[in-house]
Amino acid sequence: MNKTKIGISSFSYSYAVGFPGFTPRKPFNAFDLVDRAYELQVPVLQIADNYPLHKLSEDDLSSLNQYAQEKSVEIEVGTRGIETENILRYVEIAKKLNSKLLRVVIDTAWHQPDFDEIVHLLSQVLPVLSKENIILGIENHDRFKSNVFAEIVETLDSPSVGIVLDTVNSFACEENTYQVLDALAKHTVNFHVKDFKIERVKNNMGLIVTGTVAGEGFLNIPEVERRLQNEARCDYSSVLELWMAPEANMEDTLRKEDLWVKASISYLKKILDAPGSK
């Protein structure tokens, strides 16, 4: 049976990190995120493309690595875009931060490769991934159905490539949780815990998908974890991500986000017999 570790992400704190249109007075930096993981007593922090690590200097990366080690926080590195230059750049960053996982979203605003180009580009970096003992985790995202992601991994046929499983992303392809699990559980190396609810709009003409605190929505997290513990490729991390609607002002939004993270991590600790659980 596979084991899992609980973690937070830079996407657990999207508002605190900031994004175009929402800039806190003191945005979280990578060290703040390490502090949050330490305070929450979770062993994993995934830093994704909303906090681009390639913008840090060599000295900053070295300091971040040392700081995370002092806090006993394991960093997982993430990026967006599979151009060879970007993947190789992030392999070097992963090495500097002792990350054994490099999570990637395939598409960028300027590059949406088809199946053949994806396989071609990723095949070019397999020798480097293998040499450095880093697993490239491809996140299932909006454009392709789950079976296409499975086919990408199976075509590459390498222990250095797996799936970052995000069941909610695939709603954009009209796929439900169990369709995603059936196709991708066996390839999973990381699970994004992203709970949700679906509600009718007030006039009843349409539905809206929104995020919730983990354990308060429709995602059967215990069942997903049970399947991954039995079916995933290897031990994996369960990393919290949140889709949270903002409040009327910045202070209330940031306060709500922090409460959602704490409640979600508390829930995960209750259901998981894993490092970071109580």
pLDDT by residue (tens digit) across 237-263?
999 999 999 999 999 999 999 999 999
- Which residues are within 8 A (CB) of 141 and not within 5 positions of it... i.e. 6 or more apart? 105, 106, 107, 166, 169, 172
Two structure tokens written together for 68? 């995370």
Mean pLDDT of 187-197: 98
Whether the pLDDT of residue 274 is over 80: the answer is: no
Distance, in Å, from the CA atom of 259 to the CA atom of 186, rounded to the nearest integer, reads 33
Whether the pLDDT of residue 139 is over 50: the answer is: yes
pLDDT band at 278; cut points 50, 70, 90: very low
Cβ(136)–Cβ(147) below 8 Å: no
Ranges 52-66, 188-202, 264-278: which has the least confidence: 264-278
Task: Give the count of beta carbons closer than 10 Å to the beta carbon of residue 201.
Answer: 9
Residue 277 pLDDT: 52
- Which residues are within 8 A (CB) of 201 and not within 5 positions of it... i.e. 6 or more apart? 207, 208
- Mean pLDDT rounded to a whole number for the chain: 96
Distance, in Å, from the CA atom of 53 to the CA atom of 157, rounded to the nearest integer, reads 28
Distance, in Å, from the CA atom of 278 to the CA atom of 228, rounded to the nearest integer, reads 20
Mean pLDDT of 73-96: 98
Distance, in Å, from the CA atom of 192 to the CA atom of 209, rounded to the nearest integer, reads 17
- pTM given for the model: 0.96
Residue 150 pLDDT: 98
User: How would CATH label the architecture of 4-271?
Assistant: Alpha-Beta Barrel (3.20)
The percent of residues in the chain predicted with pLDDT above 90, rounded, is 96
The percent of residues in the chain predicted with pLDDT above 70, rounded, is 98
Distance, in Å, from the CA atom of 41 to the CA atom of 56, rounded to the nearest integer, reads 25
Distance from the Cα of residue 183 to its chain's centroid:
18
Whether the pLDDT of residue 275 is over 60: the answer is: no
| Residues listed for the chain | 278
Mean pLDDT of 139-155: 96
Whether the pLDDT of residue 132 is over 80: the answer is: yes
Whether the pLDDT of residue 143 is over 70: the answer is: yes
Residue 234 pLDDT: 97
CA distances from 246 to 14, 169, 242, 254 (A): 11, 20, 12, 8
Q: Which of 59, 60, 69 is nearest to 37 (CA)?
A: 69
Residue 142 pLDDT: 87
Mean pLDDT of 30-35: 98
